[in-house]
Structure 1
Amino acid sequence: MSIDYDGRRFRALGGGDGVSSAYCQRGDLVWAVFEGGHVRRGTITGTCDEHGVLRLAYTMVLTSGEVIAGSSINTPRRLGDALVLREVWQRYGEHAATGVSYLEEVTEVAR
């Protein structure tokens, strides 16, 4: 599945807590900025392979002032016209944790 992430937006499946991200892509390089909910600001940088799988590093600053860093591998899947990413993530340092999240593409036009 060849995917161009440039210009796509994602949020937690089902809407989540209001965090949304806007992706950019040039060649295999992918990056995004995200914010909303409990996240004041976050960034993602990584690569995309020929199957659309993303290997990413991320940092974020929460509204509490905590700084979080980690990495994830996001595997795409089509659900109808929308794209869903299965995100296997890990956080580093004092906030160390692992988990699986799902991100859905935001396809509606913002008003």
Structure 2
Amino acid sequence: MRAVTGARIDYNNRFFSADPGGSPETAAAGESPVGHYHQLGDLVWAEFRGGKVLTGRLVGTCGPDGALRLAYCQVLADGGVVAGECTSKPERLPDGRLRLREEWRRSDGSSGVSHIEEVRGRTGG
């Protein structure tokens, strides 16, 4: 993997999932949350669902380097509500897809690092 440099990233109409292979089949089966990203200028937002996530939303900004600063909220299948913020830094996978390294902090004080990868072969919402 390599850091993304050069041309600005456009996140509009891209899909991301924690599924390590970015497989459309796994994502379509709802085995892990899939986020549908949108972008207008520096504004980025997404809706996501799947796996243990009934529904979620995020909103934030995209920097010149493609890094995202986001706030998010989600409702889980067990009724839990999770909110927080994250900074996502893009990396380019060998096959050309994007991988986002997410440093997150929840409103309950917990924090961590997650990775999501672009899922190809998806369209629409």
- Residue 107 of structure 1 is matched in structure 2 by 120
Q: 77, 81, 93: which one pairs with 1:67?
A: 81
For residue 86 of structure 1, what is the amino acid of its counterpart?
A: R
Task: Report the residue type matching 1:92 in the other structure.
Answer: S
Q: Which runs of 4+ in 1 moved over 6 A?
A: none
Counterpart CA distance in 1 for 2:43 and 2:121 is 25
| 1:21-36 alignment runs, 5 A limit | 21-36=35-50
Report if the CA contact (8 A) 1:30-1:48 is conserved.
yes
Selected match of 2:59 from 18, 42, 45: 45
Aligned to 1:92: 107
Structure 2 unaligned regions, length at least 5: 22-26
Q: CA deviation at 1:13?
A: 4.5
Task: Give unpaired runs (5+ residues) of structure 1.
Answer: none
Q: What CA deviation, in whole Å up to 9, does each residue of 1:24-80 have, x standing for no partner?
A: 000000000000000000000000000000000000000011111000000001012
Instruction: Answer whether contact 2:15 2:122 (CA < 8 A) is retained.
Output: no
Question: Which amino acid letter does the alignment assign opposite residue 116 of structure 2?
Answer: L
Aligned equivalent of 1:4: 10
Instruction: Compute the displacement of 1:97 (Å).
Output: 1.0
CA RMSD of aligned residues (A): 1.5
TM-score when normalising by structure 1: 0.91
CA–CA separation in structure 2 for the residues paired with 1:88 and 1:28? 20
Q: Could you say what secondary structure the match of 2:90 adopts?
A: strand
Q: Which residue of 1 aligns with 2:24?
A: none
Secondary structure (helix, strand or coil) at the match of 2:20 reads helix
- Greater share of residues in strand: 1
TM-score by length of 2: 0.81
